């Protein structure tokens, strides 16, 4: 396991939950504990009804999703640790795990990097925003999508298939492909989004 995945910056969904709980407080003046009690006391007993009830109270978007999950439960992947999420991504493609680790190591050399593990990908963030996403897209390839200008596409830098906010990508089939060129693109993406 990479040291960066054990660092305080590496996390699964817990920081997201804290951020959305803060949004709820900022928007409504009431915290999660108060809203959870209101949902139980006054809210409908089905998900669609609860969403409509929350919208009527002015709670929409991520805060509404959070309260619905609080009421009806979280999926297992949502409560998993960052390590467990990443282990799951590479469970059926262990040969690609060293490639992922090499990408994370290269990213850690760019500056302050926050690693956010999700069910099928890992986001890399500057303190400001996401600058890259790492995903084992196939059983033989890890894609590194970068938030860079699409006009840079050419050579190894291809259009991204990973996410619209990271429009260009590099693909890796082996650790050796995470080379100086890849590190330079990572550094450029980090710098452009810091």
Range of the domain at 132: 82-192
Both 176 and 120 in one domain: the answer is: yes
Q: Are residues 70 and 131 in the same domain?
A: no
Query: With bands split at pLDDT 50, 70 and 90, how would you rate the model's confidence at 12?
Result: low
Return the SS3 of 155. coil
Lowest mean pLDDT among 8-17, 55-64, 147-156, 181-190: 8-17
Predicted confidence (pLDDT) per residue in 31-72, tens digit: 999 999 999 999 899 999 999 999 999 999 889 999 999 999
Domain count, the chain: 2
Q: Cβ distance 145 to 166 under 8 Å?
A: yes
Describe the strand order of the beta sheet including 122-125 as a list of residue ranges. 114-117, 122-125, 130-138, 141-146, 166-172, 158-163
Q: Which H or E element spans position 77?
A: helix 76-79
In a domain, 32, yes or no: yes
186 with 95, same domain? yes
Q: Do 28 and 87 fall into the same domain?
A: no
Predicted local distance difference test score (pLDDT) of residue 129: 87
Q: Are residues 72 and 137 in the same domain?
A: no
C-alpha distances in angstroms, 177 versus 14, 91, 140, 185?
32, 22, 13, 13
101, 42: one domain: no
């Amino acid at each position: 396991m990479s040291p960066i995945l054990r660092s305080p910056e590496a996390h699964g969904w817990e920081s997201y939950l804290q951020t959305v709980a803060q949004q709820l407080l900022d928007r409504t003046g009431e915290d999660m504990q108060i809203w959870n009690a209101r949902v139980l006391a006054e809210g409908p007993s089905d998900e669609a009804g609860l969403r409509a009830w929350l919208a009527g109270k002015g709670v929409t978007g991520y805060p509404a999703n959070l309260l619905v999950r609080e009421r009806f439960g979280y999926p297992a992947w949502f409560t998993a640790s960052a390590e467990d999420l990443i282990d799951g991504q590479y469970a059926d493609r262990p040969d690609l795990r060293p490639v992922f680790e090499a990408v994370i190591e290269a990213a850690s050399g760019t500056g302050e990097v926050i690693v956010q593990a999700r069910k099928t990908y890992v986001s890399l963030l500057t303190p400001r925003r996401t600058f890259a996403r790492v995903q084992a897209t196939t059983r033989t390839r890890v894609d590194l999508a970068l938030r860079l200008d699409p006009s840079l596409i050419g050579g190894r830098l291809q259009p991204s298939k990973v996410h619209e906010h990271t429009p260009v990508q590099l693909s890796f089939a082996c650790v050796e492909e995470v080379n100086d060129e890849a590190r330079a693109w990572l550094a450029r993406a980090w710098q452009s989004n810091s």
